[in-house]
Amino acid sequence: MIYIHVPFCRRKCNYCAFNSAVGDDAEKISYVEALTREIELRADFSQVESIYFGGGTPTTLTLAQLEKIFDALTKNFSVDERAEITIEANPSTVDENFLRGLKSIGFNRLSLGVQSFDDALLKILGRIHDSRTALETVALAEKFFDNVSIDLMYGLPTQTLEILSRDVARVKNLGIQHVSIYGLEVERGTKFFSDGVTVDENLCADMYDFITETLPTFGFRRYEISNFAAKNFESRHNLGYWTGKKYFGFGAGAHGFDGKIRTSNVCDTATYIQKIFAGEDVSEVEEIVTRQAAMEEFCFLGLRVVEGISAKTFAKNFGAQIFDVFGSVIEKNQRLGLLEVDGDKIFLTKRGMALGNEVFADFLF
């Protein structure tokens, strides 16, 4: 698995705490040069089953720049011909030509940051697109890609259940294959934070319930706490994170995991570029994953997935029985109606899915 971070956006959204900023052309040229150098330096030629270009907004780069990065990947890694290759895009940053170009470069999955189809909400969020552009972009995307995902947000200022239900209803006839949902979190450093925006947790919970009950009626199965897909269109890349696969992360602020050590690249884009050009290491060890931490991660990441975790796989991975290590945690959450055990499988109940963070916290010693 490979993650590529592109830290540029046309404009900073009011709620966004991601590592992204508005970059100029010169900075983008230098960044692409630095990024391809990092990829070459860490050439591995191992088999890659998924690639994910995220950000920021990767489609603020030109097609030529994206192709240059893509070429560096295929020259320095062994990319499986059936690999899932996703690029995040925002409505307003792609047109028909651009989408055709993405397809011919080799991307086979498009993730569109729609967030809402409500113009007033899109304005509050500070998005650069309006509802009409979002609908037009989804329709165009369907022309070139048979695997299209959209992001939807809930818990937003002024958003009511009725407004949300209109957004969700739109999904039914879009012809897309995947939906990711995000509840608003007001994070430090964002405009929402300095404006004192707050989230109504009760309304947020009702909205989450509404979405999780409605999307399956349109043929989208919930396969993870916040992700829904038509059959066989689950994101293989994201499933990889939740099931503990190794991954490379290239670019400013990108994270990597080799099965034992978690690393992170320097976040600041200018420093990242400067260090790469100076021949300095941009990555530092973030965490050496101990056996105990690996057992905890196996549980709290794996439980995000609807199928849950396997007691047999736990025993195979760690040479210990899951009930010996986490027996009291599992029992407590079973009693609370948040976890269920069925043969080899341990998984979150419907209520547990809504209160996932409380369950996960219990698995941390």
The answer to whether residue 20 forms part of the interface with ligand SF4 (CB under 6 A) is yes
Least distance (Å) from ligand SF4 to the CB of residue 298?
Answer: 30
**Is residue 95 a contact partner of residue 131, using CB atoms and an 8 Å limit?**
no
Measured from the CB atom, is 21 or 230 closer to ligand SF4?
Answer: 21
Q: In this complex, which beta carbon is closest to ligand SF4, that of residue 3 or of residue 77?
A: 3
Closest distance to ligand SF4 from the beta carbon of 316 (Å): 38
Q: By CB under 6 A, is residue 90 in contact with ligand SF4? A: yes
Report the nearest approach of ligand SF4 to the CB of residue 11 (Å): 7
Contact between 113 and ligand SF4 (CB under 6 A)? yes
Please identify, using beta-carbon distances, which residue of 265 and 333 lies nearer to ligand SF4: 265
Looking at beta carbons only, is 56 or 308 nearer to ligand SF4?
56
- 59 counts as binding ligand SF4 under rule CB under 6 A: no
137 is a contact residue toward ligand SF4 (CB under 6 A): no
Tell me the window of 51-59, 130-138, 242-250, 338-346 that interacts with ligand SF4 (CB under 6 A).
51-59
- Count, residues near ligand SF4 per rule CB under 6 A: 11
Tell me if 13 contacts ligand SF4 by CB under 6 A: yes
CB of 60 to ligand SF4, least distance (A): 9
3-state secondary structure the chain: CEEEEECECCCCCCCCCCCCECCCHHHHHHHHHHHHHHHHHCCCCCEEEEEEEEECCHHHCCHHHHHHHHHHHHHHCEEEEEEEEEEEECCCCCCHHHHHHHHHHCCCEEEEEEECCCHHHHHHHCCCCCHHHHHHHHHHHHHHCCCEEEEEEECCCCCCHHHHHHHHHHHCCCCCCEEEEEECCCCCCCHHHHCCCCCCHHHHHHHHHHHHHHHHHHCCEEEECCEEECCCCCCHHHHHHHCCCCEEEECCCCEEECCCEEEEECCCHHHHHHHHHCCCCCEEEEEECCHHHHHHHHHHHHCCECCCEEHHHHHHHHCCCHHHHHHHHHHHHHHCCCEEEECCEEEECHHHHHCHHHHHHHCCC
Candidates 16, 141, 150, 325: give the one binding ligand SF4 (CB under 6 A): 16
The yes or no reply on residue 18 touching ligand SF4 (CB under 6 A) is: yes
Residue 15 C-beta-side C-alpha neighbours within 13 Å: 21
For residue 10, the minimal CB distance to ligand SF4 (Å) is 8
Does 310 participate in binding ligand SF4 (rule CB under 6 A)?
Answer: no
Tell the smallest beta-carbon distance from residue 111 to ligand SF4 (Å).
Answer: 11
Smallest gap, in angstroms, from Cβ of residue 153 to ligand SF4? 10
- Give min distance, CB of 100 to ligand SF4, in A: 22
Residues that bind ligand SF4 (CB under 6 A): 9, 12-13, 16, 18, 20, 55-57, 90, 113
